[in-house]
Structure 1
Amino acid sequence: MSSGYKSKTIATWLAFAGGSLGLHRFYLHGLGDKLAWLHPLPTLLGLYGVQRMDLLGQDDRLAWVLMPILGLMLSISMLTGIVYGLTPDEKWDAHRNPGQPPRRTGWAPIIGVVGCLLVGGACLMTTIAFSAQRYFESQVDAAQEISQ
């Protein structure tokens, strides 16, 4: 970890704005963070699923598999933003900024947490609903094929 100050506010907002691409991890841990490099691929695969659904319609089964990956990546990044934003300032500074004077963050990370709650909740509910709908539709299709 570098010796520069790591802002809780910036980390929260990076998780909100680009967490599914790992921007918050790159900010906190640098470009050498292996977990940060695991974020872009599933996110891009999910976006590819959205594109396939747009181009090929709802019958594209690969899109059924890829789109929930995007929803999960967005939900995970929103949860991370919530955890960052709700971490007490003293604990954040002790972990991320040892040896530096503590700083008060104010309301900016809390506003980021509210945004993360809104977007994360919507993404998670949409992902669950989409996946359940596709699963049950595939079961109905399979039952209809068997009965014919």
Structure 2
Amino acid sequence: MKNKTLAAWLAFVGGPFGLHRFYLHGLSDTLGWLLPIPTALGLYGVERARMHGLDDGLSWALIPLLGFTIAGCALTAIVYGLTTPEKWNARFNADAPSDAAPGRTGWITIGAVVISLLIGSTVLMASIAFSFQRYFEHQVEEGRKISQ
């Protein structure tokens, strides 16, 4: 029996490492194994920014990968949390009745949805702003090089 509340919290907290995918689909899930790649690249970008400063071109290209992965996993947590018990149990608990307890939405599930919405939207907007700011600063610098 796959619990919807646990899946939502795993998607929010451990989603960038694929924990929710492993919980729901098992260790053979390909997407679960691929999710840590953009997370690791984004963390590498953060480390490069700490070492070389924010003017490092590779760091500003890699950091948004982390943000978009976190935001995507937060969206997944929201989708899991708002799935109806009937759909949840039909998909992940096929042998259980449609109103079985693991598919029910409780206050802890709603907490996961609210926190995911708050953190996910903040990280998404920050990633978009950071990406565009660095991209346009890079374009201005390249334009200055050409004009001189």
Same fold (TM over 0.5): yes
2:67 alignment partner in structure 1? 71
Is 1:146 matched up with 2:142? no
The Cα of 1:90 is off from its aligned counterpart by 1.5
Moved over 3 A (4+): none
Amino acid at match of 1:100: A
Please tell me whether the aligned partners of residues 81 and 105 of structure 2 are also in contact (alpha carbons under 8 angstroms): no
In 2: Cα distance, 1:39 partner to 1:126 partner: 20
Q: Match for 1:25 among 21, 29, 48?
A: 21
Deviation digits for residues 20-41 of structure 1 (CA, Å, limit 9, x no counterpart): 1111000000100011101011
> Any unmatched runs of 5+ in structure 1?
none
The corresponding residue for 1:124 is 124
With normalisation by structure 2, the TM-score equals: 0.94
Corresponding residue SS for 2:14? helix
Q: Does 1:45 align with 2:45?
A: no
1:95 matched to which residue of 2? 91
* SS of residue matched to 1:32: coil
Structure 2 residue runs of 5 or longer lacking an equivalent are: none
With normalisation by structure 1, the TM-score equals: 0.94
* 2:55 counterpart SS class: coil
Indicate the RMSD between aligned Cα atoms, in angstroms: 0.9
Moved more, 46-55 or 92-101: 92-101
